[in-house]
Structure 1
Amino acid sequence: MDIHGRQLQSAKQHQVFVNFRGDELRFGFVSHLVEALQRHQINVFIDKLERIGEDLTNLFVRIEESTIALVIFSRRYTESRWCLDELVKINQLTDQGLLKVIPIFFKVEPVTVKQLRGAFGDQFRDREWEYRCDKPRTERWRDALASVSCKIGLTFEKKSNESEFVKIIVKEVKKMVQPQENYVVVPFPGIRRRRDTSSHGRQCQEEQVVLSRESAVLVQENSKIANQIAVVSMRYMDIESENSVIRAQLGELSERLQSLNSIIEVVEGVVGKVPEIPEFLMNPWQIMSTSSQPITASADMFYYP
């Protein structure tokens, strides 16, 4: 981790930053979630805490000050460019190992977010068109959606119990923020050991730290590869959709050509083969040049009875 990264970690103030579509969730699900987190002494930040009139880019500073980001994907999430800009910042810090993220799929399927389906995808494409002059920005939006939605998250279905779902989120957040002081977790399933202060114990701990770091690096690399695959898959689907339109247009043109050929056959059957138009009629301006006698004007040409 570089100096800037260490400075960011030392400046952490908010344990949890909540990224969500305010008009849709602020006074419902998010208010219940924030209340539950605060009730468990978890310091949480949402954008309503910003001072009125303050530059919203300060929200990016709040993200840097946080330890965990809860990204709540909802049906209207992609209506907001601010949600998408925050998501890009969250994704950047997550890739640098400076932030942990939990994607929450609220009444929207993970595959809908990953593949930009339905109204969720339509609204995103509306934002892409709105900011079509800023292609790098929209590409970062698309990459961040693919990256974060591929991470292990929590899904709230339409018939789920909201109160129970909030409890599950709080439980997962507490696991992340509570320090594991008395245990060292070996990066293999089901193995957990107490700290040992002996030299052999310290050596084991150092080896476990190395293994843990290597495991984290591999997990991060695998995540990046999965993200790249998701991005390529979405682009392939876009191209395939365009190809479908072109194929449909080609089919329509072929049908029109067949209809035209049928009409020509009918006409030829009635009047015989359609005669070719003489070349001199196709170029009437050349008729004058074929005559060897000049045309002279006379007074009779201008006589009207």
Structure 2
Amino acid sequence: MAVPSIYSEEIPPQHQVFINFRGEELRKSFLGFLLKAMRDAKINVFTDEIEVRGRDIQNLLSRIEESRVAIAILSKRYTESSWCLDELVKMKERIDQDELVVIPIFYRLDATNCKRLEGPFGDNFRNLERDYRSEPERIKKWKEALISIPQKIGLTSAGHRDESELVDSIVKEVKKVLIDVSRKDRNNSQNSTNIKGQSFEPLMAELDRLPTRRPQVFVNFCNDELGDNFIKHLVWALRDSGINVFKDSFKLIGSGQKQEVFMSIENSNIALAIFSKRYSESYRCLNELVKMEELAKEGKLVVIPVFYSVKTNEVRRLEGEFGIHFRNTKERFAMEPMMVESWEKSLKSSTVTGRIGLSLEAHMNEFALVGAIVKEVTRLLPNSPRRRRRRKLGIGEVFLRALTATCIFAVFIYPMPMPDVNFLKIAMSI
């Protein structure tokens, strides 16, 4: 898992960053890559790397008090550990005192499951709750912390292409928080000669030198209809061209991660709206479309409509099979007229369906359509890897290429017999 070399550049010592995690689940995998990246970035990070049962947890709680930033890596087995939960309670106390900033990381976990104690995360907590039923006050504090911490905006593994990209995002987010903490400390110390202010300008310069996030393309589609074929080929082709792609996985349907998906749309430069016959039977697709249209109107997103086995007018006028599915969805959500109205408005919007898009009908096959989509996305992303390869030739290169072409002409083409053509007459006739 490669870490950008920019992290190896020297930066000033930082406030301590405490990492709270379930050791048995993450220590030999994700955590190792994260620690390496943070230490390469010269971030002062602390983690209990050698967790010994029976050790006085007060040592760890003291470490939290010494820290200004904490990373809570919430995973499925997190709630198996009373240590993790005790640390989380301490972190909540420090947050309430405005002495700590916590960044939650939802590692292969639905954020809603944390707040509602659902799925394996909730099952593990209930098992632990039974083991500690003689300590109701402690259990109460665990629940309060589990409800409070996930409310904060965090990072998710589902919102990234792979773990390497998630690690990069965490390091970058920690640096941003450290900048903000340093700024507050400096402002608080301006009127006091006894408090040593900490400069954050070098860190700001370091953050500016970090590579910017690659252009992201969000794919909006009906998973039940296209997820196992066309979309797989499309995503592969886009990623093969060096473009970061986020697609709403079927695993997220009904799992309460609407806000997470919306954040991914906001972080994207381009959105592909893949309209198919069954698209309008998915309220998830329609909600995403509304969000995409809002951002497009604000000039923050470019939406490319793609019509897969459905015509433009069928989408805009809600006709044919597309229209039938939409009317069925409309009936299902009859109790939410405002939401249904927003769906209709987005489907008829000139910002989305009114834009000249791409269609399967206009291409020979799916392969050709995928190629056309990749070409259009690359054209609209000026900083995409493929576009970056197209650089302007220098004068020397132009001269060398012209000389090469002249030599080829002189050696191979000029000696060839030419047909007897009266060039003068052709010129006069023109």
Range class of TM-score, shorter chain: 0.5 to 0.7
What is the rounded CA distance, in whole Å, between the counterparts of 1:33 and 1:95 in structure 2? Answer: 27
Corresponding residue of 2:105? 104
Corresponding residue of 1:155? 156
AA aligned opposite 2:26 = L
Corresponding residue of 1:38? 39
CA displacement at 1:14 relative to structure 2: 5.3
What is the rounded CA distance, in whole Å, between the counterparts of 1:75 and 1:143 in structure 2? Answer: 18
What is the rounded CA distance, in whole Å, between the counterparts of 1:54 and 1:93 in structure 2? Answer: 22
Matched, 1:16 2:25: no
Larger radius of gyration: 1
Corresponding residue of 1:122? 123
Map residues 211-250 of structure 1 onto 2, 5 A cutoff: none
CA displacement at 1:176 relative to structure 2: 1.3
Corresponding residue of 1:113? 114
CA displacement at 1:13 relative to structure 2: 8.4
Corresponding residue of 2:68? 67
Equivalent position SS for 1:160? coil
Name the one with the larger helix percent.
1
Map residues 84-103 of structure 1 onto 2, 5 A cutoff: 84-103=85-104
CA displacement at 1:55 relative to structure 2: 2.1
1:13/1:65 contact within 8 Å kept = no
Corresponding residue of 1:28? 29
What is the rounded CA distance, in whole Å, between the counterparts of 1:112 and 1:50 in structure 2? Answer: 26
What is the rounded CA distance, in whole Å, between the counterparts of 2:51 and 2:123 in structure 1? Answer: 30
What is the rounded CA distance, in whole Å, between the counterparts of 1:13 and 1:84 in structure 2? Answer: 26
Corresponding residue of 1:83? 84
What is the rounded CA distance, in whole Å, between the counterparts of 1:130 and 1:59 in structure 2? Answer: 22
Residues matched between the structures, number: 172
CA displacement at 1:15 relative to structure 2: 1.7
Corresponding residue of 2:140? 139
2:78/2:84 contact within 8 Å kept = yes
AA aligned opposite 1:154 = L
Q: Using the aligned pairs only, state the percent identity.
A: 50
AA aligned opposite 2:31 = V
What is the rounded CA distance, in whole Å, between the counterparts of 1:49 and 1:61 in structure 2? Answer: 16
CA displacement at 1:53 relative to structure 2: 7.4
Range 132-141 or range 49-58, more displaced: 49-58
What is the rounded CA distance, in whole Å, between the counterparts of 2:81 and 2:159 in structure 1? Answer: 22
Equivalent position SS for 1:47? coil
TM-score by length of 2: 0.38
Equivalent position SS for 1:93? helix
TM-score by length of 1: 0.53
Cα gap change, 1:159 to 1:167, in 2 (>3 Å):
closer
AA aligned opposite 2:82 = R
Per-residue Cα deviation, 1:26-59 (whole angstroms, up to 9, x for no partner): 1111111111011111000000267997523210
Per-residue Cα deviation, 1:241-274 (whole angstroms, up to 9, x for no partner): xxxxxxxxxxxxxxxxxxxxxxxxxxxxxxxxxx
AA aligned opposite 2:30 = F
Per-residue Cα deviation, 1:105-155 (whole angstroms, up to 9, x for no partner): 000010011111111101101111111111000000000000001111111
Equivalent position SS for 1:17? strand
1:103/1:154 contact within 8 Å kept = yes
CA RMSD after TM alignment: 2.5
Cα gap change, 1:65 to 1:157, in 2 (>3 Å):
same
1:18/1:46 contact within 8 Å kept = yes
Equivalent position SS for 1:97? coil
Per-residue Cα deviation, 1:176-195 (whole angstroms, up to 9, x for no partner): 113349x99xxxxxxxxxxx
Equivalent position SS for 2:49? helix
Map residues 255-294 of structure 1 onto 2, 5 A cutoff: none
Gaps in structure 2 of 5+ consecutive residues: 1-12, 188-430
1:113/1:120 contact within 8 Å kept = yes
What is the rounded CA distance, in whole Å, between the counterparts of 1:53 and 1:89 in structure 2? Answer: 19
Corresponding residue of 1:47? 48
What is the rounded CA distance, in whole Å, between the counterparts of 2:40 and 2:75 in structure 1? Answer: 25
Gaps in structure 1 of 5+ consecutive residues: 1-11, 185-305
Cα gap change, 1:51 to 1:105, in 2 (>3 Å):
closer
AA aligned opposite 1:18 = I
2:107/2:156 contact within 8 Å kept = yes
Corresponding residue of 2:417? none
Corresponding residue of 1:56? 57
What is the rounded CA distance, in whole Å, between the counterparts of 1:139 and 1:148 in structure 2? Answer: 14
Map residues 197-208 of structure 1 onto 2, 5 A cutoff: none
Equivalent position SS for 1:137? helix
Cα gap change, 1:175 to 1:76, in 2 (>3 Å):
same
What is the rounded CA distance, in whole Å, between the counterparts of 1:52 and 1:119 in structure 2? Answer: 24
What is the rounded CA distance, in whole Å, between the counterparts of 1:67 and 1:126 in structure 2? Answer: 32
What is the rounded CA distance, in whole Å, between the counterparts of 2:183 and 2:58 in structure 1? Answer: 34
